[in-house]
Structure 1
């Protein structure tokens, strides 16, 4: 006998075949899957082919910011294997973990998640980080905070949602009220690297410093572009007494690669 809930699922599956969603990347019709929740969520937005084309960042990378070296020749000019940016302006974080390129379906996924309130994408996006984070000694995790004005207009903080999924997976404590923004900033979109750094300078502060003193902190954002936001966040946390700061974002914009 069909229950009301099973009838609803059956009807939903039927409608998905009669009126299938279209892939947000290639616009071909897609149909619901009967596999994991992860696959079902993704299948609401992307076809299998487009999602399987997402590209990880491979090759030799800077051991601090994880930006890949452009070539073997570029690597040969850095015998310590640290990139020019990190040598000129060493970040306060120990390591940036940014495993995937901000390309193709991942651009659409971030836009849907961040600007179209498709918060169900938080888990599949956070899952992109799990392999990179496995084995790290982390005491607590937090997302990059939004200013209250931005948070009210968006209704959620995408970085905190990602951090929450990671905290649940690894059983790490999640802190959402320790670091905060002291002022509202311009949107980073379209700003130059120098303008991004200026925009973020001094924007964060920490309350209840005893909660992070001597701790290894993971700071999470949705996209690593120039690193200005995460670098400033790590700087603030270190000044407040964090023993070590790791930063992470599932995707990264690459320049000159």
Structure 2
């Protein structure tokens, strides 16, 4: 680092102590240091207490979509331990990996990352998936593609940024040009489950199918809500010849099962 760069970082650190940022979750002042280090990146946006409160998904979960069962009654109606949604409409993916609840500081983190262009959060968010993905035999990783119009307005694809971090960590090949959107869709925000499924139906297509034929693919998104996007993506990849598809998102919304 040059002397000028060192001075710039030092000045930035000094100013952050004089005029501290506030935690985006609880509004408590935090003294953020300018760095790309994982812990320090988080400290630019969240106090330690709020980040340590993020909650993983535990207990008995559906072995396909990984949604937790909320009660013993639900399990008694699912003797094979597969949730009602997956029995009624089996997804084309082998397993969904969604280790954390979309609550608290993680809601703010996703919003900052996705809508306020805080792309430095890609690494800490992707890191939430590492434990869940360890041991999987993956041939290629992909992010859910955006339509070109949405990509131009946002200037980046948050799912591909997460996929890139995972590809680097596990030394997996990253494909960004194999699956694409055939049309622009409505935003999924605020849509019902049925409307989300209808909105995503037939939206993806695959080019250069030989690149995924017979491959085990990991498809990454930022949030798993109803699963409509990842289910449609997995369906498209399987139809194009993928041997197996795993889907992953660092966080998921929970609904009663």
Render the CA deviation track for 1:116-173: whole Å, top value 9, x for unaligned. Answer: 1000000000000000000000000000000001101111000000000000000000
Give the Cα separation in 1 of the matches to 2:131 and 2:58: 14
Contiguous gaps of at least 5 residues in structure 1: none
Residues 33 and 39, structure 1, Cα contact 8 Å, conserved in 2 = no
Pick which of 170-179 and 30-39 moved more: 30-39
Contiguous gaps of at least 5 residues in structure 2: none
**Offset, 1:13:** 1.5
Residues 144 and 221, structure 2, Cα contact 8 Å, conserved in 1 = yes
**Offset, 1:14:** 1.1
Is the partner of 1:36 in helix, strand or coil? coil
Cα 1:200/1:33, change in 2 over 3 Å: same
Cα 1:35/1:186, change in 2 over 3 Å: closer
Aligned pair count?
Answer: 257
**Offset, 1:33:** 5.1
In the superposition, the TM-score normalised over structure 2's length comes to: 0.97
Residues 21 and 44, structure 1, Cα contact 8 Å, conserved in 2 = yes
Cα 1:231/1:13, change in 2 over 3 Å: same
Cα 1:35/1:76, change in 2 over 3 Å: farther
Residues 202 and 232, structure 2, Cα contact 8 Å, conserved in 1 = yes
In the superposition, the TM-score normalised over structure 1's length comes to: 0.97
Is the partner of 1:17 in helix, strand or coil? helix
- RMSD over aligned Cα atoms: 1.6
Is the partner of 1:113 in helix, strand or coil? helix
Residues 139 and 172, structure 1, Cα contact 8 Å, conserved in 2 = yes
Give the Cα separation in 2 of the matches to 1:131 and 1:142: 18
